[in-house]
Amino acid sequence: MKFVISHLSKSYGMHQVLVDADYTFEEGKIYGLLGRNGAGKTTLFNCLNSDIEYNSGRFFFKEGEKEEEAGPDDIGYVLSTPTVPEFLTGREFLKFFIDIHSDIIKEKKSIDEYMDYVKIPEETRDRLMKDYSHGTKNKMQMLVNIIAGPRLMLLDEPLTSLDVVVAEEMKDILRNNKDGRVLIFSTHLLDIALDLCDEIILLNHGRLELVDKENLDNDDFKNKIIEALKDAENS
């Protein structure tokens, strides 16, 4: 299975954010979408998630010669700032989510098994999520996307503001859940992309460009990427 972005363009007035963006993503890989703040990473994700309209182009799943448009259940979106119903406990939220998505969940487990998987502390499971730390809210957001099992997961800077331990736990969760799906992980930090991702895509002047990770050992090439990121921020 592949996920194809084909000639995708998006502008706000005279400001062109995405310019004929093209790329083919393969299942079983974590792709790092690299770009400085303001380069258009969130705009791209919002287009793919149908949160905003785009000007032209398309995106679709492809198996062999068969093309299939992406539906709501095909895409999971993990925001940089976790959005969870803070008036519910973690346990109540998971039960509600599992109940309303029971028809699409392929491998059902108990609530405690799910929480164990992402290392939600037992003493917090029956507390209101408004009292959860940023990292724990982020894990809950990640968990419901894993349970739903979308073919494409969009992760918008999910490691931002996490402590080192939680960030490493989140990386392990992503590595363990890339089989059978495409994961696109946006970041403005090159080191995180190198550590976590199988391939790195640079969003530069509205276009998607493959970065050869082997060349990143070359200082000249690495400096070229950094300069491109600076240009993207200032454009």
Residue 231 scores a pLDDT above 60: no
Contact assessment for residue 30 and residue 185, using Cβ atoms and an 8 Å cutoff: yes
Q: What is the pLDDT of residues 167-218, one digit of tens each?
A: 888 899 899 999 999 999 998 777 888 889 999 999 988 999 888 766 666 6
Q: What are phi and psi of 207, to 5 degrees?
A: -115, 155
| Whole-number pLDDT of residue 227 | 66
Q: What is the pLDDT of residues 95-105, one digit of tens each?
A: 999 999 988 88
| Whole-number pLDDT of residue 1 | 94
What is the residue whose two structure tokens read 């992406």? Answer: 70
CA separation for the pair 41, 34 (Å, rounded): 8
Q: What is the pLDDT of residues 11-36, one digit of tens each?
A: 998 889 999 999 999 999 999 998 87
CATH no. of 2-234:
3.40.50.300
Residue 233 scores a pLDDT above 60: no
Cα–Cα distances in angstroms (integers) from residue 50 to residues 54, 78, 178, in the given order: 9, 14, 23
